[in-house]
């Protein structure tokens, strides 16, 4: 059985008031603390490195943009009330997971 970390969010009036995570099937629920983004001075791979003379956007930002799009569509289709800030945080959480997966 593959276990994926579970997230539980509690909203009040459209505002996220609690976000917790369970990392193992029988593990305790902990307050969610997002992982630190990569250091600014660390070179990030570019999403479009061969654009005419331009460096392109960071691959992490590209992944986050793709993830936030799916969150927007999902929230709209399911009628969920979620703030843009929460969507952005989730998008970068997903992007960081994708960046880690690339390293394996």
Q: Which pLDDT does position 44 carry in this prediction?
A: 65
10 Å CB burial of residue 89 (0-12, 13-18, 19+) is middle
Q: Are 20 and 30 in contact (CB under 8 A)?
A: yes
Choose between 7 and 53: higher pLDDT.
7
Which residues in 24-94 belong to E strands, given as ranges? 29-31
The model carries a pTM of 0.49
Query: How is the chain split into domains, by residue range?
Result: 1-33, 38-103
In contact, 44 and 55? CB cutoff 8 Å: no
pLDDT in tens, 49-93: 665 555 667 888 888 888 888 877 777 777 777 778 888 888 888
Looking at residue 91, its pLDDT comes to 87
Q: Give tens-digit pLDDT for 16-43.
A: 778 888 888 888 888 877 666 555 545 6
- Say what percent of the chain tops pLDDT 70: 69
Question: What is the model's pLDDT at position 37?
Answer: 56
């Amino acid at each position: 059985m593959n276990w994926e970390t579970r997230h539980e969010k509690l909203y009040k009036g459209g505002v996220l008031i609690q976000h917790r995570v369970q990392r193992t099937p029988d593990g305790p629920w902990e307050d969610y603390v997002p992982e630190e983004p990569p250091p600014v001075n660390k070179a990030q791979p570019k999403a479009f490195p061969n654009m005419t003379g331009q460096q392109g956007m960071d691959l992490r930002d590209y992944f986050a943009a793709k993830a936030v799009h799916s969150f927007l569509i999902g929230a709209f289709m399911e009628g969920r009330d979620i703030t843009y800030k929460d969507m952005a945080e989730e998008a970068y959480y997903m992007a960081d997971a994708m960046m880690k997966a690339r390293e394996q």
